[in-house]
């Protein structure tokens, strides 16, 4: 079974631009979560989607948004990019929302975003 795929793997943008990242979950998984990883802040939860609905959102400004499609694929968008948005963005999928039991989150390789 194919794992979580994220595209693109690397991205370079300039301040003020916007960016869209894509995540395809493991086949059959309906929940997708996004995390931001930076050297300073570590791994931080962005948001979680299940059945095309945002279930939970982390403490990030409104410039960060996401959505989920009927095939469970998800996109996240960052508008008006800032230098501090440079990070590795990780997507994780699970069968159902929440963590624990059999609902293990499986992570993709991430998208490395650099903002110049």
Partner 1 sequence: AQSVTQLGSHVSVSEGALVLLRCNYSSSVPPYLFWYVQYPNQGLQLLLKYTTGATLVKGINGFEAEFKKSETSFHLTKPSAHMSDAAEYFCAVSGPPGGSQGNLIFGKGTKLSVKP
Binding-site ranges for partner 1 (CB under 8 A): 4, 33, 35, 42-45, 48, 56, 58, 90, 92, 96-101, 103-110
Cβ nearer to partner 1, comparing 71 with 104: 104
State in angstroms the smallest separation of the CB of 93 from partner 1. 11
Cβ nearer to partner 1, comparing 55 with 79: 55
State in angstroms the smallest separation of the CB of 80 from partner 1. 26
Cβ nearer to partner 1, comparing 72 with 108: 108
- Separation in Å, CA 22 to CA 78, 100, 101: 12, 25, 27
CA quadruple 76, 23, 31, 69: dihedral sign: positive
CB-count exposure of residue 91 (10 Å: 0-12, 13-18, 19+): buried
Cβ nearer to partner 1, comparing 19 with 46: 46
State in angstroms the smallest separation of the CB of 90 from partner 1. 6
Q: Which of 85, 68, 7 is nearest to 33 (CA)?
A: 68
What is the rounded CA–CA span in Å between residue 54 and residue 69? 11
């Amino acid at each position: 079974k194919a794992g979580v795929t994220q595209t693109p793997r690397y991205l370079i943008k300039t301040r003020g631009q916007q960016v869209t990242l894509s995540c395809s979950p493991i086949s059959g998984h309906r929940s997708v979560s996004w995390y931001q990883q930076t050297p300073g802040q570590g791994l931080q939860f962005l948001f979680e989607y299940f059945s095309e609905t945002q279930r939970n959102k982390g403490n990030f400004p409104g410039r960060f948004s996401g959505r989920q499609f009927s095939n469970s694929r998800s996109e996240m968008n960052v508008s008006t990019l800032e230098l501090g948005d440079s990070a590795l963005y990780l997507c994780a999928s699970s069968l159902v929302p929440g963590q624990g039991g059999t609902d293990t989150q499986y992570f993709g390789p991430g998208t490395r975003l650099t903002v110049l």
